[in-house]
Amino acid sequence: MRFFFSSAVCLLLLAGCAGRSLEDVADESSLARFRALPADAEVLVSLHGEGLAEHFTGTRPVGALGEARLVMAPHGALKTLSNLEGLQRVVVWGDDKALQRLDPLLRLEMLGAMDTAIRTGKTGAEIRAVASFDEGARIQAAELQAMGLALGSHTGQVATVRGTCANLLDLAAHPQLVKLEKPALQFPTSQSGRIEP
């Protein structure tokens, strides 16, 4: 059986961008998150630009939407990634805990919202999410609100929140967060059809 996908592995294309640093393509909050991570950490990072390759050597792909790419990369690889041809912006999301805590569908929604914000220059849209905390956690409304999140409600270890991508990334780093999920869409369980007068 032959693989039809021909561009699974691409080399990093550095032409024309040599010498660019992470500071040139990342905002302050991303830089702050990056600097807080140890040098041996894997970093969850999104890449935004035009004509970016599907995959990058040395990184692990964990999401893609349109032109935006979400990868896990070694800490030391971010300088190299910052020099990708066509790259406009790098957003640092966190470490492997952020990857584990953010559900894949929420990641994609956040990736899309970030990309739109970067392309339009507008503030990112609010995103709704469901947060689960560990057994010992006491959900403090004031603490979530201090992160810029709007709290829908909370009971037990579960809270519903809404906020920008930056707010949600801050929440993803909360030491007692277990999971942050895109709210599933559900439907009325009535049936139509098959009725014949």
Partner 1 sequence: MTRQFPASIFLATLLWVMALVVAAQAAVPMDPLLRGLLDKAAGDGSAAISYEKLVATEKGPQGELRVGVILRLDGGLPDLADVPGLVVGSVCGDIATARLPLTSLTVLAGRDDLRAIEAANLAYPTMDVAIPSAHVDQVWAGTPAFTGANVIVAVIDTGIDFSHEDFDDADGSTRILNIWDLNGTGTPPSGFSYGAEWSSAQIDAGTATERDYNGHGSHVTGMAAGDGSASGGQYRGVAYEADIIFAKAYDDQNGGFSADRTIDAMNYLASKQQQYGRPMVINMSLGGHMGPHDGSGAQEEVVDNLTAQGITLCIAAGNEGEDYVTAHGPAAGTDLVFRVVPYTANAGADNDLALVAAWVDGATSPTVTVSLGGTATEAVPSGQAMGFNSALGYIVIDNASGGTDPRNGDKQILVQLDDRQGTDLSDGDWTIRIQGGSGEVHAWKIFSTMTTGFPGSDQTYSVGIPGTAQGAVTLGAEKTRQSWPSIEGTASYGTGNSWGDAAEGDLAPFSSVGPTRDGRQKPDLTAPGMAIVSVRSTSIDPPPPGSLQVAGGDYWVSQGTSMATPFTTGVVALMLEKNGDLTPAQIKTILRESAATDAFTGTTWNPRWGAGKVDAAAALAAIGGTTGPDGDIDADGGPTVLDVVLLVNHIVDPVGHPLSSEARAAADVYPAPAGNGLLDAADLVRIVAFILGTDAPGKSAALPASTDAPLVKLGAPVPDGQGWSIPVTLSGAGVAAAQFALDLEEGQWAEDAVRVEAAGTVSVAAHARGGRQHVLVYDLDNDLPDQLTIHLPCTESALARPAGLLLVDGAGIALEAAWTSPMPRGFVSVWPNPVGAGAQVRFLAPAAGPWNLAVYDLRGRRVRSLDQGSLAVERTLDWAGNDDAGHRLADGVYLMRLETAGQVLVKKVLLAR
Which residues of this chain interact with partner 1, rule CB under 8 A?
A: 1-5, 8, 54-55, 60-64, 70, 96, 99-105, 128-132, 141-142, 145, 150-158, 160, 178-179, 181, 183-192, 194-197
**Cβ proximity of 180 and 149 under 8 Å:** no
DSSP letter (8 states) at residue 52: -
Residue 73 CB contacts under 8 Å (≥ 6 apart), including other chains:
42, 43, 45, 56, 58, 59, 60, 81
By beta-carbon proximity to partner 1, the closer residue of 14 and 141 is 141
By beta-carbon proximity to partner 1, the closer residue of 4 and 18 is 4
Is residue 61 helix, strand or coil? strand
By beta-carbon proximity to partner 1, the closer residue of 36 and 150 is 150
Report how far residue 119's alpha carbon sits from residue 122's, in angstroms, rounded to the nearest whole number. 8
CB of 101 to partner 1, least distance (A): 7
CB of 193 to partner 1, least distance (A): 9
CB of 148 to partner 1, least distance (A): 14
**Cβ proximity of 48 and 25 under 8 Å:** no
CB of 25 to partner 1, least distance (A): 23
- How many C-beta atoms surround the C-beta of residue 166 within 10 A? 20
By beta-carbon proximity to partner 1, the closer residue of 98 and 117 is 98
